[in-house]
Amino acid sequence: MSRPKAFNTKIKIAFALWWTAWAALQFSVLWGYGLTIVQATVDSLISNWLLAGCCLLIANNMRYYLPGKEKYWYVLAISLALSLMWLLVVRVILGSLFKGDLSYSAILSNSLLIRFGVGLLMLEMVTAMSLLWYSQKEQKNMEERKNDAEKLTKEAELFKLRQQLQPHFLFNSLNSINALIAVKPGEARKMIEQLSDFLRGTLRKEDQQWVNLSEELQYLKLYLDIEKVRFGHRLSDEINCDASAAAMKVPPMLLQPIVENAIKFGLYDTIDDIVIRISAHANNDQLEVVVENPFDPETSNPKQGTGFGLSSVRRRLQLLYARSDLLNTRVEANHFITSVSIPQTI
Amino acid sequence: MKTLIIDDEPLARLLIKEYLQPYPEVEIVQECNDGFEGLKAIQQHQPELIFLDIQMPKINGFEMLELVEQPPAVIFTTAYDEYAIRAFESHAVDYLLKPFSKERFDKAMEKWKESSHAVAAKANTQALIDSVVPTPSQANRIVVKLGGKIKIIPVDEILYLEGADDYVKIFTKEGSYLKNKTMSYFELSLDAQQFVRTHRSYIVNVQLITRIEPYEKDGHLAILKSGAQVPVSKTGYGKLKQVLGL
């Protein structure tokens, strides 16, 4: 952990001015009591320099050791001990400097109590101020660290949500390639290329780098083509995209889990051939994408069948826009319809 | 020696066919796209061995096996199935994780040849069916055979279950169906917040109960919306009260 920074120049100047003023005040009081100019000057300079030194000592000390809330007695004790020491030193030095002067000695010993009071107050004030100063700095540091940690967690979660690929998909695709190698090597090679492009697409993108819908649709097409090699006899797709929607932006990989869910739902909930319909249009400043798949209303409960795919999409939208109303599903006859709205302002 | 390949992906079936070429004694009598076709083909051909995928349309591989009266030896082929692998290890002839190599496939065939001399293979399949942990999709539906047809019952439509000797009778609005399972299987696989075993021989869908009446000495009767009356034993009454929050 880094130590908080020491005082800045502005505070240093204020500190110097404060002590100069205080020394001037003490000088005028002592002069008024009938001391000579030399005596008053020496007295006020020495006692105030020493006291200022003590204050700096405390302030610096606090930089490295900040007493906890329950240790306020430490503040009292340390200023008490320091002011007593300071008083002793001042007395010894000034006493020996003007040894022969009886009137000075009298004023010095008479003013000891008031000097002690002033010293104690000064030291306590400085201790309290540095305590506040450094606590505040530490709190700010802590808050910054907390914010950084939260940001990292959010990014990690978004990354993980983007990366969620069903292992089924990868293993089954590899199995299909394995089968194609012997009978149709050309198609096997093509599928390896498609699969690589698809996997590269899942790796390269970051949430901040939004992509055009047309680019994302190409990517979906790649995914659908791979699935069609596996389920060619049953699976077909229809993609409709308005010209105005094509240039709109989407977070990368947001639509793929929705299509994956639609394919899975469609393929495993019916035994017929299925069509996955994807359509996109602009709605004011929002992009609306609708994915449609058939299902069997008699045997499945679409509410339960949302699965991982849609909950991860919902979570991502929540993290990106802080809204939970952007993803909606509905049932029309024997079609399950997932629609997602993507605001165009981040 | 007859065999069947049941998998919804044509390329996956193609691969098994290719791997089976060096085994002239093995005759592939049919390829099936899903569990419905699979079930029919098993009854028709009575194969000795089947290659079975788990994830298939409508009913999965396990659900299909449950409906077969005398299940043949099974080699499972699947991409990834966390629920099933444990059961495979103890009971199936073997399981092949896709994508699998020719060497791995040959090993499975060898294993099957060794076990097929003993009658153990088929008994193993039965033990597998009995021990397999239901997948989440299985917890939402029950697959039964009615006449020659397969019927899928969503669990929400079940009124109650009644246990008999070695099967369970499932009651719905439309009628009742028999299933070759035990009461404890259903007690485990059905959602405990919705289905309560109120009696040694009864499990009831609590969402459909309209009232509970005292009956005889210590017992109660749960009256359902449909008018059906389901016995509730003393301990069953306690469980029921807990779930209903009484």
ipTM score assigned to the predicted complex: 0.74
Judging contacts by C-beta atoms under 8 Å, the chain B residues touching residue A180 are 11
pLDDT at A1: 41
**Residue extent(s) of CATH 3.30.565.10 domains in chain A:** 164-343
Cα–Cα distance, A40 to A172 (Å, whole number): 96
Question: CB–CB of B36 and A178 under 8 A?
Answer: no
Is B148 found in the same domain as B125? no
Last residue of some domain: B72, B101, B131? B131
Q: Which residue of B has its CA nearest to A274?
A: B57
Q: Which residue of B has its CA nearest to A296?
A: B58
Was domain A164-343 assigned CATH 3.30.565.10? yes
pLDDT score recorded for residue B195? 92
Residue B197 resides in a domain = yes
A172 vs B56, B98, B156: nearest CB: B98
In a domain, B30, yes or no: yes
Instruction: Provide φ and ψ at A241, rounded to 5°.
Output: -135, 120
- B223-246 pLDDT, tens digit each: 999 889 999 998 899 988 888 887
Q: Which chain A residues are closer than 8 Å to B76 by Cβ?
A: none
DSSP string for residues in B121-139: HHHHHHHHHHHPPPPHHHH
Whether B57 and A176 lie within 8 Å, measured CB to CB: no
In the block, tokens 């083909």 appear at B41
The answer to whether residue B139 is domain-embedded is no
**What is the CATH classification number for the domain harbouring B118?**
3.40.50.2300
* Chain B positions in Cβ-Cβ contact with residue A179 (cut-off 8 Å): 11-12, 14-15, 18
Which is more confidently placed, B30 or B154?
B30
Same domain, B231 and B126: no
Q: Is A333 left (phi over 0), alpha (psi -120 to 50) or beta?
A: left
Query: A167 preceded by cis ω (within 30°)?
Result: no
Whether residues B58 and A269 touch (CB distance < 8 A) is answered with yes
pLDDT tens, B163-189?
Answer: 987 889 999 988 899 888 888 888 888
Shared domain check, B98 and B165: no
Are B211 and B121 within one domain? no
Residue B168 falls within a domain, yes or no?
A: yes
Q: Based on the domain organization, do B37 and B87 belong to the same domain?
A: yes
The helix/strand/coil state of B179 is strand
Low-confidence ranges of chain A (pLDDT < 50): 1-2, 305
Q: Which residue of A has its CA nearest to B34?
A: A271
Mutate to test the interface with B, among A174, A181, A264, A271 (most CBs of B within 10 A): A271
Residues B46 and B99 in one domain: yes
Instruction: Provide the whole-model pTM.
Output: 0.67
User: Is residue B38 assigned to a domain?
Assistant: yes
Q: Say yes or no to pLDDT of B82 above 70.
A: no
Q: Domain boundary residue among B87, B109, B131?
A: B131
State mean pLDDT over B206-220: 88
How many angstroms separate the CA atoms of A151 and A155, rounded?
6
Which 8-state DSSP code applies to residue A177? H
Cβ–Cβ below 8 Å for A180 and B156 = no
Q: Is residue B136 part of a domain?
A: no
Give domain status of residue B138, yes or no: no
Give the angle subtended at the CA of B75 by the CAs of B72 and B79, to the nearest 5°: 140
Cβ contact (<8 Å) for B152 and A299? Answer: yes
Best mutation site among B8, B9, B11, B15 for testing chain A: the one with the most A CBs within 10 Å?
Answer: B11
**pLDDT for A194:** 94
Q: What integer pLDDT is reported at residue B55 of this predicted model?
A: 86
**How far apart are alpha carbons A78 and A85 in whole angstroms?**
11
CB atoms within 10 A of CB A280: 25
Nearest CA to CA, how far is B137 from chain A (Å)? 8
Instruction: Point out the residue among B12, B98, B154 whose CB comes nearest to the CB of A299.
Output: B154
Please give the average per-residue pLDDT across B146-150, as a whole number: 80
Tell whether B117 is covered by a domain: yes
What is the structure's pLDDT at A242? 92
Domain range for B156 is 144-244
Residue B205 confidence (pLDDT): 93
Q: In this complex, do B8 and A231 lie within 8 Å of one another by their Cβ atoms?
A: yes
Regarding whether B176 and B99 lie in a shared domain, the answer is no
DSSP E strand stretches across chain B: 2-6, 27-32, 49-53, 73-78, 94-97, 141-146, 149-154, 158-163, 168-172, 175-179, 195-199, 202-205, 209-215, 219-224, 229-232
Matching residue, tokens 């599903």: A329
Residues of B in contact with A298 (CB under 8 A): 152, 154
Distance (Å, whole) CA A219 – CA A214:
9
Q: Does B98 touch chain A (CB under 8 A)?
A: yes
Statement to judge: residues B69 and B149 lie in one domain? no
Residue identified by tokens 């004023």 is A107
User: Do both B114 and B12 map to the same domain?
Assistant: yes
Q: Last residue of some domain: B103, B131, B159?
A: B131
Q: Which residues of A make CB contacts under 8 Å with B?
A: 167-168, 171-172, 174-180, 182-183, 229-233, 267-271, 296, 298-301, 304
Mean pLDDT for B81-87 is 64
Minimum-distance CB partner of B12 among A176, A267, A271: A176
Q: Which of A175, A179, A301 sits opposite B140 (nearest CB)?
A: A301
Residues B80 and B35 in one domain: yes
Which of A168, A171, A176 lies nearest to residue B11, judging by beta carbons? A176
Q: What is the pLDDT of residue A175?
A: 95
Same domain, B91 and B150: no
Q: Please give the pLDDT value at position B189.
A: 82
Is the CB of A172 less than 8 angstroms away from the CB of B9? Answer: yes
Question: What confidence score (pLDDT) does residue A287 get?
Answer: 94
Tell if the CB–CB gap between B57 and A301 is shorter than 8 Å.
Answer: no
Residue of A nearest to B141 (CA): A299
Q: Provide the pLDDT confidence category of residue B21 given band limits of 50, 70 and 90.
A: very high
Q: What is the rounded CA–CA span in Å between residue A293 and residue A275? A: 7
Size of interface A-B (CB pairs under 8 A): 75
The domain that holds B165 is classified in CATH as 2.40.50.1020
Task: Check residue A2 and give its pLDDT.
Answer: 46
User: Are A174 and B99 an interchain contact pair (Cβ–Cβ within 8 Å)?
Assistant: yes
Q: Identify the closest residue of chain A to B96 by CA–CA distance.
A: A175
Question: What is the reported pLDDT for A102?
Answer: 83
Query: Six-digit token pair at B175?
Result: 């009628």
Residue range A304-325, pLDDT digits in tens: 545 556 888 888 888 888 888 9
Q: Which residues of A touch B100 (CB under 8 A)?
A: 175
Nearest Cα of chain A lies from the Cα of B155 at a distance, in angstroms, of: 10
Let me know whether B69 and B172 are in one domain: no
Inter-chain CB proximity A269 and B57 less than 8 Å? yes
Q: Is B191 on the interface with A (CB under 8 A)?
A: no
Our count of domains for chain B comes to 2
Q: A299–B99: do the CB atoms touch at under 8 Å?
A: no
Taking the CA atoms of residue A125, residue A127, residue A133 and residue A137 in that order, the dihedral angle to the nearest 10 degrees is: -170
